[in-house]
Structure 1
């Protein structure tokens, strides 16, 4: 069972937040503080934080764990918000448990495998061991806009996720392939990306928007993968607008269909 934090307000809508690899549910603290008109549920995903004992096998199994959490909280169908790893898991949740989600916002992921060389995969493997260093973890967090060093470590300075978990997540993300599933996703979904994200993530936006029946894609100008930490106000405004079916905030760039 996943560990989770949540607001106690008994609001009409519930948002379940799914964090990026290497972090845990605490990364959503600022967003939850601004979305007091929602019941905010922030789990630590498999292999992370206080859910470290939940094994990481694949994104389908992770979506099973999130589905179990939604049933446990008893607030379904929910609104869903995901970043990076959380978006991969969230997409699989839409595909496998559509009755549990009424609306979704995902940022920082792609729909087809990312082609990388064997050398690059080796470098990624090596970098996973570097995350055992608190200094390196904090440097990584700052590079994507997360300036609170406590968010990348547990008490005593231990990493939120093991090197083995980080390697597994990286491999699953590189090989993620849901192009054949897009047409089957009926859930209203907003897919976002920072303007300076990896080209594979940016090029996926038109495919999501054209391929999914009820999908809108937007680009956050001038920002990158961790834009939710850099612009928490904009992130909260975007979630509230999408989940309440209101106009999206100005400043988000539209995406042409594929």
Structure 2
């Protein structure tokens, strides 16, 4: 079995790999991919999600390896720019660490690479048993300020997530990515932009150092006034930031700098 991959503009320029967050599937990137007419877009559904629900999530490293095969087989020149949000950002960082030769650049937003502790962890794990209830997904759709024309698809996707995959994936992500996996970023000779929303919890901002302390060409920025799912909160800002990155390899001036703590301090694990 293999991952389902949506594709746009196979005859366009350099390939961009879009990796979705943990409550949806690749369709979340449709508008952003369409807004980049000069690029070839590859948009997989990750294991356990969407049209890849038949493909079980086993662990993060295996998922990164599966995504690497998509790049090898379908990206132009066997390399791609990697764009990820939330779970997708974690998978994208793992891909860059394990397969640096496949990566042109990384744009990773909201990656909780140190995992989740305390009440945040408890609340996240407690939600997994609710994933088979339509009311839960409708509530999330309102919380994410999702456009009305996307709500039905969001609910359908949520109800279709493979439950056993979710029970493996959520605790693994909340445990944090092992340092041994992240240390592969030292071999990455590609630019990396690690972003968190300015209004995200401190946990997300603290994790920036896991990337910037390892990847030689990594920088960290804040998305001004944004929460976690800012691709929905302000699609125009997200697009402008992403387009600037893909065009120049530099952070957009619209982003905010972060302090020295977030730039350089990995966790002691």
Q: What is the CA distance between 1:138 and its match in structure 2?
A: 2.4
Structure 1 gap segments, 5+ residues each: none
Query: In the aligned structure 1, how far is the partner of 2:193 from the partner of 2:154?
Result: 27
Structure 1 residue 6, shift from structure 2 partner? 1.2
Q: 1:124, 1:167 within 8 Å by CA — same for their partners in 2?
A: no
State TM-score, norm by structure 2: 0.86
Residue in structure 2 matched with residue 96 of structure 1 by the alignment: 98
Partner of 1:194: 197
1:228 maps to 231
1:42 aligns with 2:40: no
Worse-matched range after superposition: 136-145 or 212-221:
136-145
- Residues 144 and 224 of structure 1 are in contact (CA less than 8 Å); yes or no, is this contact kept in structure 2? no
| Coordinate RMSD, CA, aligned | 2.2
Is the CA contact (8 Å cut-off) linking 1:234 and 1:249 kept in structure 2? Answer: no
C-alpha separation between the residues in 2 aligned to 1:90 and 1:163? 23
Alignment-derived partner of residue 11 in structure 1: 12
8 Å Cα contact 2:100/2:187 also seen in 1: no
User: Is this contact kept in 2: 1:87–1:109, CA < 8 A?
Assistant: yes
- Higher helix proportion: 2
Counterpart-to-counterpart distance in 1, 2:200 and 2:229: 9
Q: In the comparison of the two structures, how many residue pairs are matched?
A: 254
Would the aligned equivalents of 2:15 and 2:40 in 1 still touch at CA under 8 Å? yes
Equivalent residue number for residue 266 of structure 2? none
Deviations 1:181-212 (A, max 9, x none): 15344331101111121211111224533442
Asked whether the equivalents of residues 5 and 42 of structure 2 are also in contact (C-alpha less than 8 Å), the reply is: yes
The answer to which of 248-257 and 222-231 deviates more is 248-257
Deviation at 1:94, TM superposition (A): 0.6
Q: In the alignment, is the contact (CA less than 8 A) between 2:222 and 2:256 conserved in 1?
A: yes
Contact 2:7 2:40 (8 Å CA) reproduced: yes
Query: Which deviates further from its counterpart, 184-193 or 78-87?
Result: 184-193
Q: 1:186 to 1:116 in 2, by over 3 A?
A: farther
Q: Secondary structure at the match of 1:190?
A: strand
How far residue 25 of structure 1 moved from its aligned partner, in angstroms, is 0.6
Q: Which runs of 5+ in 2 are unaligned?
A: 262-269
CA distance in structure 2 between the partners assigned to 1:190 and 1:111 by the alignment: 14
